Each structure stands twice: as structure tokens, then as C-alpha cells.
Structure 1
Amino acid sequence: MSSDPTPAVPQSRRRVTAEIWIVLGLSLGQSAVYAVVNIVARLTADTALADQTTQLNPTRSVRPYLDLTYQLLGIAFALVPVALALYLLSARGRSVRDALGIDGSRPGRDVGWGFALAAAVGIPGLAFYVLGRAIGITVEVQASGLDAYWWTVPVLILAALKNAILEEVIVVGYLRERLTDLGWGRWQFIATSSLLRGSYHLYQGIGPAIGNVAMGVLFSWFYTSRWGRHRVGPLIVAHALLDVVAFVGYAALPAEWRDALGI
């Protein structure tokens, strides 16, 4: 009796399309819909967009350990769609290592590229945020609403990692694999991934949405390039670095410094 594994059954376009909508509907596609509704509400409000605020990582309870519990639960459950996406990819008969380059074989290079991508996005991104605030197309983004506890910084770091894993695995790695199954080309994927990334950031205003589209173009192009080699590791490192600096830096800066910088 042969011990060879049974070949994966080819999946129809309709099934792959349905799968994509389900995964996105449970994760960042859902966020995009809410963000579109949010920006419409902001633009039609009596208050000007530049005078509005949005808060990331808000506190969930006035009781510290209950707040910590809520924060950790939110981070854990947000990663469930990632587990689903990886499971569905593995069902095709390809390992996650082959599909997304998650194998830990090149940690030094992945980290190096991650720092380079973070630098390429971070400095222009901050400048674009300040410009957006100046011309009135960006709301004031408060990167952390958590009070100062012993667990605040670790939770903010975990939140940054959660964002990085969720977005890069689904919007880049998973989406590239599944759109390829549908016969989509490289630039169709880059456009779709980038516009999706921008759409779920619309709640921060038009400026951050445009900035995230640009970030999406860079990340998805790099992922499909001969340097990225279809590895999500560098993208996760870069995204996590950007969010750690934003979240922890915001929490660490004195209020008067934040006011002076307009953040």
C-alpha cells in the first residue's frame, strides 16, 4: 500500500472566491466596511475632519486587571482569522512555509529587510501625517488610550505584533496565493492589496488612507519581487516596528510634546 499523500483536489473559481470573501469578511474586509461608514459619518459631521480624533488601543475598563484581560482577549481573537487563512492554505496541499516563506531559515535577512522597509515608510509617513493634519484631511490619531500600568508597554507591543501578523498574512500573503489561484496577475494583486489596506484605514481620515495605499504598493511589490521572494517575515517585522514606535512612543511622550508635534 502506498504511503504517498493524496494529491490536493483542485478548487473551483467560485469556491476560491467565496473563501476569499469569507476570510476578509471575518477580518480586514469587515474593518474596511466599517471604516468607509466611519469616514462618511466624519465628513458629514458638523465638526471639521481636522478637529476630530480617533483613539487606537483604548482602555476597556477602569479596573486595571480587567482592562488587561480585555486587551489580551482582543489581541488573541483578532488573530483567529489568520489561523483560518493559514489552515485554508494548508488544505491545498502546500505547507505554510512554501506558501508564505514562514520557515525561520533567514532570520537575519528578514529582519534586515524589515528595518529597511520600516525606515522607507516611517519617516515619510510621519511627514505625511503632519501634512494631512495641516491641510485638514487627517483626524488627530491618539495611538494609545491606555493608562500607565506595568503591563501597558508589553500590551502595546503585543498589539503591534497582532496588527503586523493580521495585516501582512491576510492582505499580502494569503491574498496573493488566492488571487493567483484565480489567475490574477502581479499588478492586479498589488492594486487590490494596496487599495484594501488603504480602505480599512479610512477611519483615520483621507490622508492616512492614501499613505497606507502607498505603503501597500511598496509592501506587495516587495513581496513579489526577487528580494522579497514571497516571504511575509520582512513585512511583519517592518509593520511591527512601525506600530511599536507609534504606540509606545505616543504613550511615552509627555502631553505637551504631543501637542507641540500635533500628534
Structure 2
Amino acid sequence: MTTVPRRALRAEVWIVLGLSLGQSAVYAVVSLVRKALSDAGIGGSTATLNPTRDTSAWLDLVLNLLSIGFALVPVALALYLLSADRRWDPTLPRLRERLGLTGDRPGLDVAWGAALAALIGIPGLGVYFAGRALGVTAEVVASDLSAHWWTVPVLVLSAVQNAVLEEVVVVGYLFTRLRQLRWGPLAIVVVAALLRGSYHLYQGVGQGLGNVAMGLLLGWFYLRTGRLWPLIVAHTILDVVAFVGYALLADTLGLR
């Protein structure tokens, strides 16, 4: 058995994060500073999660689909790099087994995912409104898409994309690599949670802290179970409810 050189692993981690959520974290910090220095402050600013990309309906659809597709390229890269570990150590389980992405217990994975979504989502609303009241959270516009036949399907795809990208890269990939770099479980969970919080800072300090708490819970769950599917299910449910719910109720509730 041959092990991957630790220096190569460190370089790989920085490259993957630099091409994906690490890059998002840097931009999010700059966005937060920009909001804080503006006349309106953080509380008077907005953060749009699913913006309209063109006034033409069909171009808007195409651009949104392209955005979703290209956002998943770092996932493909991370999975490819992890699967290449078997070249160094043929005794390793297949990648689906290592990450907990096997399809042998879908009912249990969905049930755990729904439970995690409820556990995160209900307190998450409280964190958001508390942050708004304190002026440390921007007004989050979950969808700025106009009403078309494709709006809801695109929002669902966007939710799935967010879930797959974040959970595969921040949990499946990063946890695996940090273990190989001989990090302890607590350090892995904390660092991954801080990363998760950092790339949400464009929404404000409150949302950043809320996502750190979410990361701690999901990281702990993954360490205990070794299953990535429940995390993806939970994240998808949270974002579908937020994105689609906002799109359907925004006009009724006077949110836009």
C-alpha cells in the first residue's frame, strides 16, 4: 500500500477550495465589508440568492441552467480526486461507500434528512429574524425570478445544486482529506463549520453564525453515521422550502 504524499494533499485541498467554496468565502467577506461600510449598513442591504439574469425569459432560463451546471463542476473534480485514491491504496472501499452515498437504505436517509431539516430550519428562522432586528443580517431575497413555467423547477434544481455542492465538498471531500492529513475529529468539524459560515457572510453576520451552527450539527452527524445522503436531503429540503416558498408567497406577503 502506498499513501498519498501529505504535501500533495494540502495543495489539492487549497486548489479545490480555491475553485469552489473557498473562493465564495473570500467574496462573501468582501461583500460583508462592503455592506457594513455602505450608508444603509448590513441591515439595510439585501442579498439575492436566485437573481433574474436576463430580461428575456428564455435567456434567463438558459443562463440559470448554465449557472447551476457549472457550479457542480467542483463536485465532479472533488469526486474524481477522491476516487483516484484507490490508485494509491487498492484496499480502499469504493467512493460511494466511503462517503455514505450508497443507495441501500433510501427510506432511512430521507427520514434522517427530514429530521435534520426540521431541526435546522425552525431555529434558523429565529436566527434570521433576530439578526434582522439587530441589524447584522441583510434582507435575504430567496428568489428574484419572474413567474414562468420553469421558475419552480429551476428553483428546485438550484436547491439541489447548493446541497450537492456544499455537502460533497465541505463534508464528503474535506472531511476525507483532513482525516488523511491526520486532523482530529473536533478540528475537522469546527474548521468545516467555519468554512460553511464564511461563504454565507454576504447575507450578514447572523446568517454566517447560523450556518456555522448548521455545519457543527451536520458535521457531527456525518462523523457518527458516515452517511452523506441525509445531509444532502436535509440541505435540499431547506433550500426548496426557502426558494419555492419565497417565489410563491413573496407577492402575497408583500415581500417584493
Alignment partner, residue 3 of structure 1: none
| TM-score normalized by the length of structure 1 | 0.93
**Which residue of the partner structure matches residue 187 of structure 2?**
188
1:33-90 alpha-carbon deviations (Å, 9 max, x no partner): 0001111111111212111111111011111111111111111110010011011011
The answer to whether structure 1 residue 233 and structure 2 residue 226 are counterparts is: no
Q: Which residue is 2:197 aligned to?
A: 198
Shift of 1:149: 0.1
- TM-score, normalised relative to structure 2: 0.95
1:162 equivalent to 2:161? Answer: yes
Give the Cα–Cα distance (whole angstroms) in 1 for the partners of residues 99 and 31 of structure 2.
33
Contact 1:173–1:230, Cα closer than 8 Å, also in 2: no
Q: CA deviation at 1:182?
A: 0.3
CA distance, structure 2, for counterparts of residue 71 and residue 52 of structure 1? 23
Unaligned regions of 5+ residues in structure 2, if any? Answer: 87-91
1:84 alignment counterpart:
77
Aligned length: 250
Query: What pairs with 1:69-218 in structure 2 (closer than 5 Å)?
Result: 69-93=62-86, 94=92, 95-218=94-217
Residue 258 of structure 1 and its aligned partner are, at CA, apart by 4.8
Unaligned runs of 5+ in 1: 1-6
Distance in 1 (alpha carbons) for counterparts of 2:79 and 2:186: 23
1:58 corresponds to 2:51? yes
SS at match of 2:85: coil
Paired residue type of 2:26: V
Shift of 1:256: 5.1
Q: Is the 8 A contact 1:138 1:207 kept in 2?
A: yes
1:230 offset after TM fit, Å? 1.2
**Could you tell me whether the CA contact under 8 Å between 2:32 and 2:42 is conserved in 1?**
no
| Partner Cα distance (1:208, 1:145) in 2 | 19
Contact 1:56-1:141 at 8 Å conserved across structures: yes
Question: Which secondary structure state, in structure 2, belongs to the residue aligned with residue 253 of structure 1?
Answer: helix
Q: What is the aligned-residue identity percentage?
A: 59
Q: What do you get for the CA RMSD once the two structures are aligned?
A: 1.1
Separation in structure 2 between the aligned mates of residue 254 and residue 78 of structure 1, nearest angstrom: 26
State whether residues 26 and 81 of structure 1, in contact with CA within 8 Å, keep that contact through their aligned partners in structure 2.
yes
The DSSP-based 3-state class of the residue aligned with 1:54 is: strand
Distance 2:132 2:75 in 1: 33
> How far off its partner does 1:98 sit?
2.2
Q: Give distance in 1, aligned partners of 2:34 and 2:243.
A: 26
Aligned to 2:249: 253
Return the letter of the residue paired with 2:165: L
Query: For 2:249 and 2:13, how far apart are their aligned partners in 1?
Result: 40
